[in-house]
Amino acid sequence: MQDKSKSWSGRFHEPVAELVKRYTASVDFDKRLAEFDIQGSLAHAQMLGQQGIISVADVNAIETGLAEILAEIRAGQFEWLLDLEDVHLNIEKRLTDKIGDAGKRLHTGRSRNDQVATDVRLWLRSVSDEVVAGIRGLQTSILDLAEQHFDTVMPGFTHLQVAQPVTFGHHLLAYFEMLQRDAERFVDARKRINRLPLGAAALAGTSYPIDREQVARTLGFDGVCRNSLDAVSDRDFAIEFTAAAALLMTHLSRFSEELILWSSPRFAFVDIADRFCTGSSIMPQKKNPDVPELVRGKTGRVNGHLVALLTLMKGQPLAYNKDNQEDKEPLFDTADTLLVTLQIYADMLRGIKVDKANMRQAAFEGYATATDLADYLVKKGMPFRDAHEVVALAVRHAVDKRCDLSDLPLAELQQFSAQISDDVYAVLTLEGSLASRDHIGGTAPRQVKLAIAAARQLIA
């Protein structure tokens, strides 16, 4: 006897094996698409009614039934059945139980292939907006902290060696810029997410006189997918979202690595609030930066999801294949990981305490103003390569004496160049070095304040 719970069961002579049911079912994870599935179904039903494909009475019954089902789902009263395989069949079966034949007419002119593609795009469009909002929240936390420390001196590093002095505010603004590019990527990716697949049906379109543009307008899509084969088989939008997510997580992983280093006693630049840290089960003195470490670790997880999605698609012929069911778990987990990471990171930065004295002291290590001395000699007329060599000799002398360049007496500095005079000490100070970089993108405190103001306007 035919199993009427299946949309395709009349073709088969035996039921699906229980193990196969569990293996092929997606309802455990795709039920999160339920509200978007209902949203798409309502728009589809309204179009069918306006095109005269189903009756107005059927449309009204469908709208009433779907509203009741949505209420059941939101109240946690909807019974999800593994036998019904996925979110779509579960909702359709419940609708048919409620309103009879009108529920069976809802699937006219569409397939689960274009239905699921529409659901995922609706969901991902919403998630993209949440991600951009999360980025803005984190950027605000960065700007707030940068504003407090626009003139706080710290060493800038290359190769993790002291290079030149910068301000902590300037350093933080580098992450603002990374996040700004991330936000732009998600906004741009949303444009390609926001195309309607519905109406492509299984792969070739439908013989019913549907109006895809109307459905697109109802659902807020910018337009329709122009080719039915591509509409049902495309997952570029999911890959692009995950690629943007992987890059965002990579930026946060870099930030995390610095917070981990800076919070260690060897640096002691920052203190992370206790609520973001844990202790050791054996060493009572420990305060471990668990949140930054987990962000660093979860970045590998999101990167893995990107590789999984690329691998999923690389060998698929047109059009839809069951492989595509495997797009959801990595995509869902990527979104979940990203959203909670953005939220917790914004909060964590609000609890950062900065040790200005330790940062300043570290800037004296490694002869951070050596380049300023070279620039000073160039301004006196010396070719830069010659100035570079003069300063290298002066640094070696200071190393031997175990002192900073600014601690060397003028007479000793003049041994390396007669062009050095007593005005040199103004450029050898940390503040002098910072102030001299007074241009757009520079680390001078005045420029940092201007950059913060411009950044606030940008995200307003």
Q: What is the pLDDT of residue 247?
A: 98
In this predicted structure, the answer to whether residue 5 has a pLDDT above a threshold of 80 is no
Q: What is the pLDDT of residue 304?
A: 98
Q: At what angle do helices 328-350 and 236-262 cross, to 10 degrees?
A: 30
Q: What is the pLDDT of residue 280?
A: 78
Q: 15-19, 46-50, 442-446: which range is least confident on average?
A: 15-19
One-character DSSP codes across 8-67: SGGG-SSPPPHHHHHHH--HHHHGGGHHHHHHHHHHHHHHHHHTTSS-HHHHHHHHHHHH
Give the tens place of pLDDT for each residue, 306-337.
999 999 999 999 999 999 999 999 999 999 99
The overall pTM is greater than 0.75: yes
Q: 193-202, 331-340, 394-403: which range is least confident on average?
A: 394-403
Q: What is the pLDDT of residue 6?
A: 59
Q: Distance (Å, rounded) from C-alpha 121 to C-alpha 115? A: 10
Q: Where are the alpha helices (DSSP H) in 236-325?
A: 236-262, 290-313
Distances (CA, A) of 287 to 234, 255, 263: 47, 19, 9
Q: What is the pLDDT of residue 2?
A: 45
**Which of the four pLDDT bands, split at 50, 70 and 90, describes residue 9?**
low
Q: What is the pLDDT of residue 441?
A: 97
Q: Distance (Å, rounded) from C-alpha 47 to C-alpha 214? A: 7
Phi, psi values for residue 320, rounded to 5°: -75, 140
**What top-level class would CATH report for the domain 365-459?**
mainly alpha
Distances (CA, A) of 8 to 29, 212, 291: 22, 25, 48
Strand partners for 288: 278
Looking at residue 201, the DSSP 8-state letter turns out to be T
Closest CA to 298 of 253, 332, 329, 335: 253
- Whether 159 is a known active-site residue: answer yes
- Which of 159, 207, 281, 439 is catalytic? The answer is 159
In this predicted structure, the answer to whether residue 261 has a pLDDT above a threshold of 70 is yes
Domain 16-108 has CATH 3.40.50.10310: no
Q: Compare 22 and 338 and report the one with higher pLDDT.
A: 338
Q: Which two tokens stand for residue 269?
A: 């630049």
**What top-level class would CATH report for the domain 113-361?**
mainly alpha
Q: Distance (Å, rounded) from C-alpha 147 to C-alpha 152? A: 10
Domain ranges of the chain: 16-108, 113-361, 365-459
Q: Which two tokens stand for residue 446?
A: 């005045």
- Which of 5, 9, 55, 280 is catalytic? The answer is 280
Which amino acid makes up residue 434? L
Q: What is the pLDDT of residue 1?
A: 39
Phi, psi values for residue 196, rounded to 5°: -85, 120
Closest CA to 442 of 181, 227, 132, 167: 167
Per residue, the 3-state secondary structure of 302-359, as one string, reads HHHHHHHHHHHHCCCCCCCCHHHHHHHHHHHHHHHHHHHHHHHHHHHHHCCEECHHHH
Q: What is the pLDDT of residue 380?
A: 92
Give the tens place of pLDDT for each residue, 124-175.
999 999 999 999 999 999 999 999 999 999 999 999 999 999 999 999 999 9
In this predicted structure, the answer to whether residue 451 has a pLDDT above a threshold of 50 is yes
As a whole-number percent, the residues of the chain with pLDDT over 70 amount to: 98
Burial 155-193 (b: 16+ CB within 10 A, else e): bbbeeeebbbbbbbbbbbbebbebbbebbebbeebbeeb
Q: 32-46, 302-316, 362-376: which range is least confident on average?
A: 362-376
In this predicted structure, the answer to whether residue 10 has a pLDDT above a threshold of 80 is no
Give the tens place of pLDDT for each residue, 105-116.
999 999 999 999
Q: Distance (Å, rounded) from C-alpha 166 to C-alpha 164? A: 6
